[in-house]
Amino acid sequence: MVTAVVEAVLGELAKGGIEPGKYAYVKCPECGLIQDAANAHCARCGHDLTEARRGMFATYEKQGVKPTLHSTPPPPASKQPDLREK
């Protein structure tokens, strides 16, 4: 059941967002960039975000809460630290 809901949410994202003008954020596990969850791949390092998105929405579903929707896009990559840089 959870999987079906997650797939539905990901389908919504693929169509251009959960709600018009709203953004769900997802964090890249590779470089730490917080970005629009509609991205299939990280905007900075190209990491495949499928698992991160799936995990995020599965967690929300398990907790019975909706993803946090933001009215603005995430800050640009240049304003966020790169976890790969030591």
* Binding-site member from 10, 34, 45, 58 for Zn ion (CB under 5 A): 45
Q: Say which residue the tokens 């790169």 belong to.
A: 82
Residue with Cβ nearer Zn ion (26 or 61): 26
- Is residue 31 a contact point for Zn ion (CB under 5 A)? yes
DSSP 41: B
The minimum distance between CB 45 and Zn ion, in angstroms, equals 3
Cα(19)–Cα(78) distance, integer angstroms: 26
- Is residue 47 a contact point for Zn ion (CB under 5 A)? yes
Q: In Å, what is the CA distance from 61 to each residue of 6, 52, 64, 76?
A: 8, 14, 5, 28
The minimum distance between CB 21 and Zn ion, in angstroms, equals 25
SS3 61: helix
Which residues are at the interface with Zn ion (CB under 5 A)? Answer: 28, 30-31, 33, 42, 44-45, 47
